[in-house]
A and B are shown apart, each in its own frame.
Chain A
């Protein structure tokens, strides 16, 4: 599904990635690990076209990632960033806005129908929808970002430390949700020790 060939990325004089190659198959669950500052988030930013590699190539479904094809990839991947700057204002309006984007609008009514169920699944009350995003706690925002990603009805997920602000039982719930679904292709940056026992995962260690 993804093929990374000889990627090199340098910031000022420090190599973040050097001649890095990696393949990801459909349905795989990849756990990206490595100490902080090693370039895990940079890898996601390269895959999403927010950064350009100094050299090397990225293929998505056998198509070279370019300034043209990257827009297609952004419509296929659901990305949950560790940065919780996801928007402002009323939460219901926030979900509506995501689903009003041209590319997502076909799922609008069906996804909004599942919203309540998803809130419950991640232990958030329905009343949260009337609140403003600014009022939410870190843990609530993190789950909101996860739900927002699931509303997109995509099955490729880039998850960047999405459980850092959650307690143990919620962590398990979130990771089970993503890692045990055979339809999902998941690339997850995580510092958690927890992994569902039944999950088949592969570790990508950057160093």
Chain B
């Protein structure tokens, strides 16, 4: 094992000194952000220290049940964040979106671990939590855009939706264009970043692997695989989220329920 070099206490102190640069900037430019920055830094340190210890523990045991429960916890937090940030009503969406995320992310991660990484233990903590975290983080971002836009665009263009129904469209036919457009806006950022990958930025995963001792040629293979896994989970999770929520979001007349959106 030739992992990344450990950072000593001295290194972390030097890191703290580097924090003086933004702090001085804030003071000099009177941005009034100092308190916010310090609180955020403190939160980051505390959260990461706790997660660090917790992951040490999870990796040491590497127990399938513990790994799965932790991944489920990550998914649950992501689902709450998706619903909250897309302005949708939590009570209405939490169960169907959770189901969608569990199916999409477990499927993609297990597929990755079994067919691509060819692990003998497909619930291995390192892979499931690291790969899962990347896939999940991107599903989260894409669903905030995709799922949120889907319902918001129907509310905004309600007349258009009704017009389609009046032409004799089934609910599915009337919603198809709305769904198409939210897929496009959800997938565009990932597709665009794929096109510049490696030139504009070295993705975080590659950076991590290279520091961790992998040769670049191994790192790029993982990067290619993970980008495709991200796209797969994005499409799967948005499709399933829309599919699972549409039934209860419209009444039998095809009119969208008021309970879809969180009250302002």
Please tell me if the beta carbons of A152 and B160 are within 8 angstroms of each other in the complex: no
B201 touches A (CB below 8 Å): no
B221 touches A (CB below 8 Å): no
Bitwise, A93-107 to B at CB < 8 A (1) or not (0) is 000001001111000
Please tell me if the beta carbons of B160 and A74 are within 8 angstroms of each other in the complex: no
A56 touches B (CB below 8 Å): no
Please tell me if the beta carbons of B160 and A86 are within 8 angstroms of each other in the complex: yes
Cβ of B169: which chain A residues have Cβ within 8 Å of it? 101, 103
Please tell me if the beta carbons of A70 and B160 are within 8 angstroms of each other in the complex: no
Q: How large is the interface on B (under 10, 10 to 19, 20 to 34, 35 or more residues)?
A: 10 to 19
A87 touches B (CB below 8 Å): yes
Please tell me if the beta carbons of A67 and B252 are within 8 angstroms of each other in the complex: yes
A115 touches B (CB below 8 Å): no
Q: Determine chain A's interface SS by DSSP, over half rule.
A: loop
Cβ of A83: which chain B residues have Cβ within 8 Å of it? 159, 163
Please tell me if the beta carbons of B162 and A48 are within 8 angstroms of each other in the complex: yes
**Cα–Cα distance between A52 and B169 once the two chains are bound (Å):** 20
**Cα–Cα distance between A48 and B158 once the two chains are bound (Å):** 14
**Cα–Cα distance between A81 and B157 once the two chains are bound (Å):** 13
What residue of chain A has the Cβ atom nearest to residue B159's Cβ?
Answer: A83
Please tell me if the beta carbons of A87 and B165 are within 8 angstroms of each other in the complex: no
Cβ of A102: which chain B residues have Cβ within 8 Å of it? 168, 170, 173
A93 to chain B, nearest CB (A): 11
Partner of A98, one of B157, B162, B167, B254: B167
What residue of chain B has the Cβ atom nearest to residue A50's Cβ?
Answer: B162
Please tell me if the beta carbons of A104 and B253 are within 8 angstroms of each other in the complex: no
Cβ of A85: which chain B residues have Cβ within 8 Å of it? 157, 159-160, 163
B207 to chain A, nearest CB (A): 41
Please tell me if the beta carbons of B159 and A74 are within 8 angstroms of each other in the complex: no
Bitwise, B116-129 to A at CB < 8 A (1) or not (0) is 00000000000000
A89 to chain B, nearest CB (A): 10
Please tell me if the beta carbons of A104 and B167 are within 8 angstroms of each other in the complex: yes
B175 to chain A, nearest CB (A): 13
The 8 A-B residue pairs with the shortest CB-CB distance, nearest first, are A67-B252, A103-B168, A79-B166, A83-B159, A75-B168, A49-B253, A85-B160, A85-B159
* 18 A-B pairs in the complex with CB atoms less than 8 angstroms apart: A45-B162, A48-B162, A49-B253, A52-B253, A67-B251, A67-B252, A71-B170, A74-B167, A74-B168, A78-B166, A79-B163, A79-B166, A79-B167, A85-B157, A85-B159, A86-B160, A101-B173, A103-B168
Q: Which residues of B contact A (CB under 8 A)?
A: 157, 159-160, 162-163, 165-170, 173, 251-255
